[in-house]
Amino acid sequence: MQWSELLDVIFRWSHVVAGIMWIGNSMLFNWIDRNLEKSANLSRLSQGKIYMLHSGAFYDVEKKLLEPGEMPATLHWFKWQNFATWSTGISLLIVVYYFHGAAFLVDPSVHDVGPTIAITLSAAALLTGWLIYDAIWRTIGEIHPRFSTALSVIFLFAAIWGFTLVFSGRAAYMETGVLIGTIMTGNVWSVIVPSQHLLVEATSSGKAQNPKLSLQAKARSIHNNYLTFPLLFIMVSNHFSAATTHHLNWLILIVVCVGGAGVRHFMNTRYLGGGKQLVTSAWLAPAFAMGGVALFGLMFISHLEPRPKFGIDHPVKFARAQEIIAIRCVPCHSKKPSTFHSAPLGMMLDTPEQIKTMAPRIKYRAYDLANMPFNNKTQITDMERAELATWIDAGAHIE
C-alpha cells in the first residue's frame, strides 16, 4: 500500500468517526434546547429543565447560567470532536486533492490551471470565505439578522458557482464542503468556545455571567445546525457523478443545499419548547416538501442534457470497441493501471469477458454522462464515445 493510500484510509476513517461524534452532539444539544421545560420552581438563571430516558435510567438535565463563584468541581466540554472532524477533513483534502499534482483538483476541460495555482486558490478560498462570513455576523449580524442570513446564503451560492468554474466537478463539491466545515469550525473556536471561556472565568472570579455571551454562542451553534445536512450530502457526493460532473453541477448543489437546510428547519420548528410539539402534519409535510426540492435537484436537473448526443449510423465491431477501451480506459481500469495504484472501484477491463460484463456501466459513464475517462485524461473523442455506445446498444457481442 502506498503512503498516500494509507493516509487516505486513516484520515477518512478518523473523519467519519469524529464527524459522527460531533454531529451527534450537535443534534442532541439542539434538541434539548428546543424541549427545555421552564417552571417557577427553577432558579432565576435557569433556562429550563428536561427529563430523558436512555440506557436503562433517567437523566435529569438543566440548562442554566451560574451564580458568581458557583463553578462546579468537574465541568465537561464538547469541542475536540469538532477539531478532530475539521483537521482530518483538511488532511483528506490535502492527500486526495493536493497530492499527485492536484490531479483530482484540476480538470482541463473546466479550467486549464496549473496545480500550484489551483492549490493556492483552494486554500485561499477557505480562509477568505471564513473571513467574509465572520465579518458579516460581527458587524451587522446582531442588528439585522435576516439581512445577514440572506447575505450569507448569497455568498455561499456565489462560492459554489465560482468553485465549479475553476475546479473539477468533484473537487468543487468538496471545496464547498470544506468551506462549510471551516465556517462551522470557525464558529466553534472563535465564538462558541471563547464565549464559554468567558462564562467560566466570570463565575470562577465571583462575577455575574453575561447572558449576551450565551446568546452569541447559541446563534452560531444554530448556524452550524442548519449547515449540517448540506455538509453531509457533500461528504458522499463523489458517489453521484451525475451531479458532480453535470454542466449544471453548481445549480444541483445549490438546490440540494436549500432542500437539506429546509428539511432541518422544519425538523427544528417541530419543537415549541416546554415539552410541546407541533402536530405531526404541520412540520412533517413541509419537511417532505423541502426533501422534494433536494430530490428535484438531484434527479431532474441532473438529467438535463447540455446538447444532443453525438451519434453514428454504422455498426461497430468488438475489435474497434476493444481498441478504444484499451487506449482510453485500460490505463486506469486494469490489473496493473498506469495512472493509479489500483483500478478505481476494482473495475478492470483487461479481457473481453470483463468488458462485456461492464458494458452497461461503460456506456453510462463514457456516453450517457460523458464523465469518464476521469477528467478525460486519455483524451477520448465524441466519435469514440458514440462508437462504444453503438456497439453496446447492438448487444455488446464479443464474438
- Per run of 10 residues, the mean pLDDT along the chain (length 399 residues) is 82 94 92 89 90 94 91 90 95 92 87 92 97 96 94 97 95 96 96 93 90 90 95 92 90 96 94 88 95 90 76 89 93 85 83 92 88 86 92 90
50 membership: H or E segment, kind and range: strand 46-54
Q: What pLDDT score was predicted for residue 308? A: 66
Q: Which residues contact 394 (CB under 8 A, 6 or more apart)?
A: 315, 316
Which residue intervals of the chain are DSSP H helices?
3-35, 80-92, 99-102, 115-139, 145-166, 169-187, 193-204, 211-236, 241-244, 249-269, 280-299, 318-328, 352-357, 359-363, 382-393
Spatial separation of the C-alpha atoms in residues 19 and 92, rounded to whole Å: 13
8 Å CB contact between 155 and 133: yes
8 Å CB contact between 387 and 310: no
Q: What pLDDT score was predicted for residue 299? A: 87
Q: What pLDDT score was predicted for residue 298? A: 87
8 Å CB contact between 53 and 63: no
Q: What pLDDT score was predicted for residue 208? A: 87
